[in-house]
Structure 1
Amino acid sequence: MIKKIHILFVLVFLMGVSGFAQEKLITKANEKYDEYSFSPAIDIYKKVLDRGYVSADLLKKLGNSYYYNADYEDAANTYKRLVDEYPDETGPEYYFRYAQTLKTLEDYETSKVIMAKFLEVTSDDVRANTYKSEEDYLNDIKKNSGRYNVLPFQYNSPYSEFAPSFYKKGLIFSSDRDTGNFARYRHTWNSKDFLDLYKVNADSASNGFVTKLGDQLNTRLHESTSVVTKDGQTLYFTRNNYKEGKYVKDGNGIIRLKIFKAVMSEEGLWSNIEELPFNSDDYSIAHPTLSADEKTLYFASDMPGSFGESDIFKVAINEDGSYGTPENLGDVINTEARETFPFVTSKDILYFSSDGHPGLGGLDIFATKIDDGRFDGTVMNVGEPVNGRMDDFTFIFDEDTREGYFASNRSEGQGADDIYAFLETKPLLIDCEQAVSGVVRDKISNEPLVGASVKVIDENNEEIMSAITDAEGKYNLTVDCTQGNFVRAMTEGYIPSEEYLGKSDGAPKTIDFFLERSSISAGFGDDLAKLLQLSTIYFDFDKYNIRKDSEIEVEKVIAAMEKYSSLRIKVNSHTDSRGKDSYNLWLSQKRAEATVNYMISKGIAKERLEGEGFGETKLINKCANGVKCSDKDHELNRRSEFIILE
């Protein structure tokens, strides 16, 4: 009996020792995980799993470690086990990451199922609000795909190259080629591998000659993403928290990232290196880029007030060189996941990488238009082949040459990360403003309609903008050609007319509108000339033949009578007061007959026409017998009217 108790005690003791050992390993792994040292954390978590110990927390951290190291296949397998074995302890974030990893494996059907679960367990998540359906977002991505010709960057190595930025006639980029280490820094924001800044001329003359940007910039820690001002005199770049030759850790033992500034000395060296004043030892600020006017600095950070793991911020650069207060770009851009690596073009298009917006897997590159300092426009996935199932990031683009660069860890690359060059062959629809102009005219008279409204109506039947035609009936509008729009012309007394404009590449469009009157049967006695807005039909002094300039106006009346076959009119002709009354009465009758005969000669049946001369009996001004008037005032009375009889 004593022997059995002794054996039992030994077994219990050994189990306790074993359990203590597992806990010790897990504690060590968690420490590595908390330091963002995911590779050693993975090794320890796997060892614990192999010994039969498993928990929801262990699977979460192991899955995340794979995820942040871009090992998406192992991440998917780990998240699957978490979802299957611990559904009650699987939060929304793990469903989302599981779905993301499945996309990188091109398992879109399973990803669709997991995303449905993600939507089910969350309602206030930015990603849930922007997500439509697997089919919808894949269709949207497909529409933007096929616009780039992509080629490998000729200066890649078997190591890691990423973070290209324009510099003089070439590029600055980040690489660990001198250390031989594969850096995972862009994911963890804290890694033990060393990245340095390099420069190269991106032309054939350089013959592959890559050099470090300068010993004064590169340290024994990380130097990465950079941007240089247009004059080449100021450099902003990312570096680990580094002071007086030593790295600095936060309260959790993490070496954070900071943005530093350097200026070019007269000797051509980068000097006066200093960190920006809004950096912190407690959170990371990284990946700088400048606005086109260089008055705003954009960057990524996990500072307080962030929506997710990293958000994109902006800060004003004041004229005296000081800085404003950093501002979060808001929840249209930023999600609960990762938004990082911003780049702003000369036309205020913001490109950035994200795994929070719907994509093809991993980090994808997205674009949005900055509209008068607002960041509430459509966020568009730039599509394949720039984006793929792995991570795509550090996108830069020259809108004049349509050339650019980005980095990716896709499998066909030489190293862990590779830079790729591209040529944009078709503009992204988000950068699409289409000039629309034209003239609004009367369909019968061809006269321009002054003061007509031309409205842009979207596909939801909401008015987007409008314009009013000028004295020549002309209008000008600028529409968003990333969506379909109706352009509608309308004015009082006319039937509105509209034309649909679908999505386009932004080429200017001319749309002339010819509006029909809502009714021409205005009633017996009305003057058709007024309804058609005709110019007055004038006659020369003491003449009854129709002047050339008046033929145009009579042709408009003829066009109306051809359109409305039941229309009958009476031509009333008038003279001025000069000359004898009897002669003027005869002359006006001749003018009426001349007008009627002209219309008959053009094909109008004589039964539909009458003519009568009134001489000087119906003057329209004070220019009666004995009153002194100018020739211009007298001319106003020498006219013809077209009175509707039926």
Structure 2
Amino acid sequence: MRKYFWITCIPYFLMSACSFTQKVQTGQQAYDVKQYSVATQLFEKEFEASHVPKEKARLAFFTGESYSHLNDYVSAGQWYLKAGKEGYGDESMVQYADALKHQEKYVEAAKVYEDLLKANPGNAGYRSGLTLCKQAMDWIKNANKAYNIEPVPFNSPGNDYSPQPIGQGQILFTSDRGLKQNSDPYLWTGRAYSDIFISTSNSTTPQVSEYDDHINTDDNEGTPAISPDGKMLAFTRCYVSGSYDAWCKLMMSFRRDNAWSEPQPFPFVKEKINYGQPAFAANGATIFFSSDAAEGQGGHDIYFTQPDGKGSWIEPVNLGPVINTIGEEQYPTVYNDTLYYSSDHLPGLGGLDIFKTYLDAKNQWVSPINLGAPINSGNDDFGFVVDTFTKPGNGILMTGYFTSSREGPNRNDEIYSFSLSGETKDTSVAPVLPEKKKEDQFVNYKLFVAIRVMEPEYATVDDPNSRVVGKRPLPNGPIIQSEGLMDQRFVTDELGQIILKLDWDKNYVFTARYRDHLADTYTLNTREVKKDSLNPITTINHIMVLDPVFKNKEIVLENIFYDYDQWTIREDAKPSLNNLSNIMKTNPAIRIQLSSHTDCRGTDEYNLDLSQKRAQAAVDYLKSTGIPSTRLQAQGYGESNPSVICECEKCTEEQHQKNRRTTFKIID
């Protein structure tokens, strides 16, 4: 099934959706409260009974949507196609193409997008869809043969997912196998609620049992993670039984007297926000997890938290736009310095795909790498975890587990084991990936760039000096790709994204423009992109943030400081001014006024003269970077326009500091 339900029981529709005493009479009522197994039956009956073409089209489309939520993409595709034939429109055909991708029928999905493009040749979304289909074909064709994957023997007819090896041949995992006696089904799926189970993984006939009565309740529990020292358990609990306030919380429990303590929510957990899928870093202190908090990039994002040294935990920190998108990012795990997680928005084979990334020398996350086939498939793939309790050897570099809802005997989420083979220098050192061989020259390497164009969201609307609380996409905006003297123009899709195939030995400059926004550029030298024979298809993900144009509104330049009674530009001020210079070069039509302000201390004449000299010094510096003087204007305001109004003798030093500032504003 779509695993998004695990941390989104009912935050977006009727809060009573998790109260299972509620009765529904129509397919739409069942769909609105996420009783998808019931909705499919009711929608189909209503479709057969209806004789109104427009209504039949709507019923067919929502039957397809219901089957999609149940992960039955064969049935979903059939109903989307029916909806299209009944006249529902392009949306049903886009969803039909997506259902085909989930079945790895990429050729057929590409044909759907080609037909859509014939009728809508300028639609960037359809063009991106076609590109993704072709890219997926390449991934399948170039599947990494170093991986060996097999379903584990303890899978059930239900959903089994999020494996967590804990040593001694034991694996914790989540499952909705089997209804308890006198228990009602979970009406999303028609099956049981989820609980945490434990299996002995090295036996011919694994023994599976529920994990712990302190942990499992009548609600949904799952996605367990145990700290490296074995003293702390973190997991997800979604409150659903008869509750109108049905949200998923990140829970913690501690090992005391050979038993787990009563679980408690993490202290930063807030109401009406979903948290889940924890994972411990190797240090045992940092915990990664996902959440749909409003300040994120969109959907569910990956966050981390750490102990605050005072017996509690710091507020969650978002991993940022390199990792997170406007889509779904979930199921983080960590192995050494590598973060694995799943995304449904970054370019992939379909559904959730597993990616990896790590921090570079500058402590920045590198562009996520799609693990490709056979780890990823057209359906949801997630919960990738390396088994650190199994020592590699005999040509095996790594072993572990992951979850996939790819085509299988039960068409549900199933757990797979994997092993990655390669070469090692000797058994006393860490395994290394095989060196490139001569036959590598015959590897069909391919390179793509996926650019997302976004704008900042400010805490105070229309105030560029307020805190940036998020980013939102800029749809249908032009991007100019420059390579040498050749320019090509493209348009982003409805999500502000575009995917382009690149050559390996070129310098590219991408310029994104949008009405009433400042343009931005991105330079990419593909000669510097490393090729990996184990992952021959490389996708570089980049975000271009376009700031809105605020005409005649002062914007504070950060980190512009002057020595006492001086106006010389200091070294620590140059980065901020260099950034402003780059903005002006990318936007050659704008003119700006650079302004300087002082605090209230000193005479009016002195402050006015000093501020004018400082503003002029900033203008002179920009001129030295190549900005024409006709585009620049210096204005000193002295103390006449304070940012914080206070009685001078009573102003705090912080208030004085806020009033001493250098700003710019766009005047043309």
TM-score bracket for the superposition, by shorter chain length: 0.5 to 0.7
Aligned residue in 2 for 1:477: none
**Would you say the 8 A contact 2:26–2:43 is kept in 1?**
no
**Would you say the 8 A contact 2:185–2:193 is kept in 1?**
no
Q: Structure 2 vs 1, CA of residues 43 and 120 (structure 1 numbering), >3 Å: closer, same or farther?
A: farther
Aligned residue in 2 for 1:304: 294
Once the 2 structures are TM-superposed, how far is the Cα of residue 73 of structure 1 from its aligned partner?
1.4
Q: Structure 2 vs 1, CA of residues 309 and 114 (structure 1 numbering), >3 Å: closer, same or farther?
A: farther
Does residue 409 of structure 1 match 2:400? no
Once the 2 structures are TM-superposed, how far is the Cα of residue 306 of structure 1 from its aligned partner?
4.5
Q: Structure 2 vs 1, CA of residues 96 and 379 (structure 1 numbering), >3 Å: closer, same or farther?
A: farther
Once the 2 structures are TM-superposed, how far is the Cα of residue 461 of structure 1 from its aligned partner?
5.6
Does residue 396 of structure 1 match 2:396? no
Once the 2 structures are TM-superposed, how far is the Cα of residue 59 of structure 1 from its aligned partner?
4.2
Aligned residue in 2 for 1:356: 345
Q: Structure 2 vs 1, CA of residues 501 and 28 (structure 1 numbering), >3 Å: closer, same or farther?
A: closer
Q: Structure 2 vs 1, CA of residues 129 and 258 (structure 1 numbering), >3 Å: closer, same or farther?
A: farther
In structure 1, how many angstroms separate the alpha carbons of the residues matched to 2:324 and 2:282? 22
In structure 2, how many angstroms separate the alpha carbons of the residues matched to 1:70 and 1:229? 32
In structure 2, how many angstroms separate the alpha carbons of the residues matched to 1:501 and 1:286? 34
Query: Unmatched 5+ residue regions in structure 1?
Result: 1-24, 437-457, 463-482, 487-499, 507-646
**Would you say the 8 A contact 2:61–2:88 is kept in 1?**
no
Per-residue CA deviations over 1:366-411 (Å, capped at 9, x if unaligned) read 2233436967533333223222333322221136631101122334
Does residue 257 of structure 1 match 2:248? yes
- Aligned positions of 1:522-561 closer than 5 A: none
- Aligned positions of 1:273-292 closer than 5 A: 273-292=263-282
Q: Structure 2 vs 1, CA of residues 388 and 501 (structure 1 numbering), >3 Å: closer, same or farther?
A: closer
Aligned residue in 1 for 2:230: 232
In structure 2, how many angstroms separate the alpha carbons of the residues matched to 1:83 and 1:432? 51
Aligned residue in 2 for 1:177: 177
In structure 2, how many angstroms separate the alpha carbons of the residues matched to 1:414 and 1:97? 23
**Would you say the 8 A contact 1:352–1:365 is kept in 2?**
yes
In structure 2, how many angstroms separate the alpha carbons of the residues matched to 1:167 and 1:156? 18
Once the 2 structures are TM-superposed, how far is the Cα of residue 259 of structure 1 from its aligned partner?
1.4
Per-residue CA deviations over 1:521-558 (Å, capped at 9, x if unaligned) read xxxxxxxxxxxxxxxxxxxxxxxxxxxxxxxxxxxxxx
Q: Structure 2 vs 1, CA of residues 115 and 183 (structure 1 numbering), >3 Å: closer, same or farther?
A: farther
Aligned residue in 1 for 2:261: 271
Does residue 167 of structure 1 match 2:166? yes
Q: Structure 2 vs 1, CA of residues 331 and 149 (structure 1 numbering), >3 Å: closer, same or farther?
A: same
In structure 1, how many angstroms separate the alpha carbons of the residues matched to 2:29 and 2:251? 29
- Aligned positions of 1:446-461 closer than 5 A: 459-460=505-506
Q: Structure 2 vs 1, CA of residues 504 and 318 (structure 1 numbering), >3 Å: closer, same or farther?
A: farther
- Aligned positions of 1:467-506 closer than 5 A: 503=532
Once the 2 structures are TM-superposed, how far is the Cα of residue 233 of structure 1 from its aligned partner?
0.6
Per-residue CA deviations over 1:231-261 (Å, capped at 9, x if unaligned) read 011011111127xxx65333xxxx3322111
**Would you say the 8 A contact 2:329–2:343 is kept in 1?**
yes
- Aligned positions of 1:534-613 closer than 5 A: none
- Number of residue pairs aligned between Structure 1 and Structure 2: 410
- Aligned positions of 1:92-241 closer than 5 A: 97-115=95-113, 117=116, 132-140=131-139, 142-143=141-142, 145-169=144-168, 170-179=170-179, 193-204=192-203, 208-241=206-239
Q: Structure 2 vs 1, CA of residues 161 and 58 (structure 1 numbering), >3 Å: closer, same or farther?
A: same
Aligned residue in 2 for 1:62: 63
Aligned residue in 1 for 2:38: 40
Once the 2 structures are TM-superposed, how far is the Cα of residue 335 of structure 1 from its aligned partner?
3.9
Other structure's SS at 2:261 match: strand
**Would you say the 8 A contact 1:168–1:232 is kept in 2?**
no
Which amino acid in 1 is paired with 2:193?
F
**Would you say the 8 A contact 1:238–1:286 is kept in 2?**
yes
In structure 1, how many angstroms separate the alpha carbons of the residues matched to 2:39 and 2:335? 39
Q: Structure 2 vs 1, CA of residues 159 and 316 (structure 1 numbering), >3 Å: closer, same or farther?
A: same
Once the 2 structures are TM-superposed, how far is the Cα of residue 264 of structure 1 from its aligned partner?
0.7
Moved more, 334-343 or 175-184: 175-184
**Would you say the 8 A contact 2:139–2:373 is kept in 1?**
no
Q: Structure 2 vs 1, CA of residues 191 and 230 (structure 1 numbering), >3 Å: closer, same or farther?
A: farther
**Would you say the 8 A contact 2:400–2:419 is kept in 1?**
yes
Aligned residue in 1 for 2:372: 383
Which amino acid in 2 is paired with 1:227?
A
In structure 1, how many angstroms separate the alpha carbons of the residues matched to 2:237 and 2:272? 15
Does residue 248 of structure 1 match 2:272? no
Rg larger for: 1
Match of 2:316 among 311, 317, 326: 326
In structure 2, how many angstroms separate the alpha carbons of the residues matched to 1:152 and 1:137? 23
In structure 1, how many angstroms separate the alpha carbons of the residues matched to 2:354 and 2:173? 18
Per-residue CA deviations over 1:142-174 (Å, capped at 9, x if unaligned) read 445223111221222333322101213321011
In structure 1, how many angstroms separate the alpha carbons of the residues matched to 2:85 and 2:361? 48
Q: Structure 2 vs 1, CA of residues 425 and 37 (structure 1 numbering), >3 Å: closer, same or farther?
A: same
**Would you say the 8 A contact 1:330–1:375 is kept in 2?**
no
Aligned residue in 1 for 2:489: none
Other structure's SS at 2:367 match: coil
**Would you say the 8 A contact 1:159–1:415 is kept in 2?**
no
Other structure's SS at 1:389 match: coil
Aligned residue in 1 for 2:81: 80
In structure 2, how many angstroms separate the alpha carbons of the residues matched to 1:131 and 1:305? 32
Other structure's SS at 1:78 match: helix
**Would you say the 8 A contact 2:248–2:273 is kept in 1?**
yes
In structure 2, how many angstroms separate the alpha carbons of the residues matched to 1:221 and 1:163? 17
Q: Structure 2 vs 1, CA of residues 461 and 184 (structure 1 numbering), >3 Å: closer, same or farther?
A: farther
Which amino acid in 1 is paired with 2:75?
D
In structure 1, how many angstroms separate the alpha carbons of the residues matched to 2:79 and 2:411? 26
**Would you say the 8 A contact 2:110–2:130 is kept in 1?**
no
Q: Structure 2 vs 1, CA of residues 412 and 505 (structure 1 numbering), >3 Å: closer, same or farther?
A: closer
Q: Structure 2 vs 1, CA of residues 227 and 264 (structure 1 numbering), >3 Å: closer, same or farther?
A: same
In structure 2, how many angstroms separate the alpha carbons of the residues matched to 1:417 and 1:231? 30
Other structure's SS at 1:360 match: coil
In structure 2, how many angstroms separate the alpha carbons of the residues matched to 1:295 and 1:420? 28
Instruction: State TM-score, norm by structure 1.
Output: 0.55
